[in-house]
Amino acid sequence: MTSFTLPDFTAGLPADQVDASLRQALAACDRAQECAVLWFAEVQRRGLHRALGHASLQLYATVGLGFTDNRYWLFKRLADDLERLPVLREAVASGEIGWTKARQVARVATVETQAAWVAKAVTTGRRELELQVRQARRPVAQLPLVEAPSLPVADPPVTISLRADGVQLARFEALVEKAHKLGLAPNGADRMDLMLAALESFVESPVGAKAPRGAAVQIVVQQCPDCAAATAVTNSGERRLAPAQVEALACDARVSRAGKPNRATIKPSVRAAVLARDRHRCAAPGCRSTHFLEVHHVKPRQQGGSNRAENLITLCSRCHGFVHERGGALAPAQVEGAAIAGLK
């Protein structure tokens, strides 16, 4: 990358020197943002947020980097564009085109057309490139009528792939089954219809709505009493779970043993009190999720931690699993910044 030096501010300079210094500073700002997005994309591509102590990229951005939500989504979209368009990414990283042009190209380029758009950006001014991108994005109905071959009625469906571990797969299947049993799924609805309806409900649900008393669904986990290996039961067979997943599930579960009554690892009344105290939100700094909530032991039970409310904290399943991957104990700063501080 080309290095830029910021000019030192000096009041009272002649107009031409002020203009030159301002242009130099603006060029450095553009290059700095370009560099920041490239590094951000590297964190996303390699999942480095977890090594840096954050359960998700968004938590890393908002808590670790101090981003606002709007700034996070701006960087996320730009990082996604660079991942989607490797030719554009290489042109940006090498300095072949500037960041302003790169953002214009990302608005219209596809994997097939990215090389042509990058070449166009190299030889075209900013304003001309912006005009060409705007024209390319115009709906077909607004373009001048010209003779052209008829277009297909619609593109073929796109496949969206989701990766799930054993717990997520079991939870997904249980939620789909329950949606059908409750009559929430229209006749003939497929899984995509259900997922879109769920996301729509998630976005449109009013803030502060009354939280459910218990978990939306329950999944079944089988654990060997001798070796402690565990599997989640799914429609496609049993899926082995990582030790950290098993530990997280054991924090807040109902245990069934042959010949013995079912036993909750945390008394339902205590669990309800902890959820109410934490306002039915994940207490991990920066998260505040209201979905898939679980109760976690601040001091692990293996280290003498109790099941009393003062040793319990509300975490979403993502943050809960991440804490156990890192040893099971919350750092002091995490505890102080979380809702558990209200217990003092």
Q: Quick: pLDDT tens for 77-94.
A: 888 988 899 999 999 888
Q: Is the pLDDT assigned to residue 148 strictly greater than 90?
A: no
pLDDT of residue 122: 92
At 34, phi and psi to the nearest 5?
A: -60, -45
pLDDT of residue 216: 63
Integer Cα distance of 194 and 174 in angstroms: 13
Question: What radius of gyration, in Å, describes the C-alpha atoms of the chain?
Answer: 26
Q: Predicted confidence band at 308 (pLDDT cuts at 50, 70, 90)?
A: very high
pLDDT of residue 139: 62
- Please give the residue that has the higher pLDDT: either 252 or 145: 252
Q: Where are the domains of the chain?
A: 15-141, 265-343
Q: Is the pLDDT assigned to residue 342 strictly greater than 60?
A: no
* Residues with Cβ within 8 Å of residue 67, at least 6 apart in sequence: 61, 75
Q: Is the pLDDT assigned to residue 279 strictly greater than 50?
A: yes
Integer Cα distance of 44 and 286 in angstroms: 18
Task: Give me the mean pLDDT over the 38-55 stretch.
Answer: 92
DSSP state of 207: T
Q: What is the average pLDDT score of the chain? A: 82
pLDDT of residue 66: 94
Task: Give me the mean pLDDT over the 121-149 stretch.
Answer: 74
pLDDT-wise least confident of 134-138, 209-213, 261-265: 209-213
Q: Give the pLDDT confidence of 215-249 residue by residue, as tens digits.
A: 667 788 988 888 888 898 888 888 889 888 888 88
User: Beta-carbon neighbour count of residue 32 at 10 Å?
Assistant: 13
pLDDT of residue 328: 64
Q: Predicted confidence band at 206 (pLDDT cuts at 50, 70, 90)?
A: low
Q: Predicted confidence band at 340 (pLDDT cuts at 50, 70, 90)?
A: very low
**What 3-state DSSP class applies to 118?**
helix
Tokens 């979209």 identify what position? Answer: 77
Q: Is the pLDDT assigned to residue 297 strictly greater than 60?
A: yes
pLDDT of residue 301: 83
Q: Predicted confidence band at 15 (pLDDT cuts at 50, 70, 90)?
A: very high
Q: Is the pLDDT assigned to residue 44 strictly greater than 60?
A: yes
Q: Which CATH class is domain 265-343?
A: mainly alpha
Is the Cα dihedral 80, 325, 339, 275 positive or negative? positive
